[in-house]
Amino acid sequence: DAGVIQSPRHEVTEMGQEVTLRCKPISGHNSLFWYRQTMMRGLELLIYFNNNVPIDDSGMPEDRFSAKMPNASFSTLKIQPSEPRDSAVYFCASRPGQGANTEAFFGQGTRLTVV
């Protein structure tokens, strides 16, 4: 398996623009997570899905952030409008099943820079 695939790897955009980050989870995994990593706050859980359904979005910082999972093989994280403080590395991860004892598999991340 190719693992969790994220695109793009790098994104530079101007403040106010819409940004869409994409994720393809590992086939057969039915839990998907979006994390944000910054120097100040570390790894923050933004939202996660089970069987394509959003379960907990309490980590989404503002209404400017939205996430969707239209099917089992694709998810998006959208920021509209983007702001410089959104600059971070965004990771997608997937997990087989819903068991608390299973590990999550991470993608390579998308480094977002908002100027």
42 exposed, middle or buried (CB, 10 Å; 0-12, 13-18, 19+)? exposed
Show the binding pattern over residues 39-78: x = contacts another protein (CB under 8 A), - = does not: ---xx-x--x-x----xx----------------------
Q: How far apart are CA 67 and CA 46, in angstroms?
A: 9
Q: How many residues are there in the chain?
A: 115
Nearer to another protein, 62 or 100 (CB): 100
Nearer to another protein, 17 or 98 (CB): 98
Nearer to another protein, 81 or 89 (CB): 89
- Contacts (Cβ under 8 Å, ≥6 apart) of 6: 21, 22, 23, 24, 90, 91, 92, 107, 108, 109, 110
The answer to whether 90 contacts another protein (rule: CB under 8 A) is no
Q: Please give the residue ranges that form the binding site for another protein (CB under 8 A).
A: 4, 31, 33, 35, 42-43, 45, 48, 50, 55-56, 91, 93, 95, 98-101, 103-109
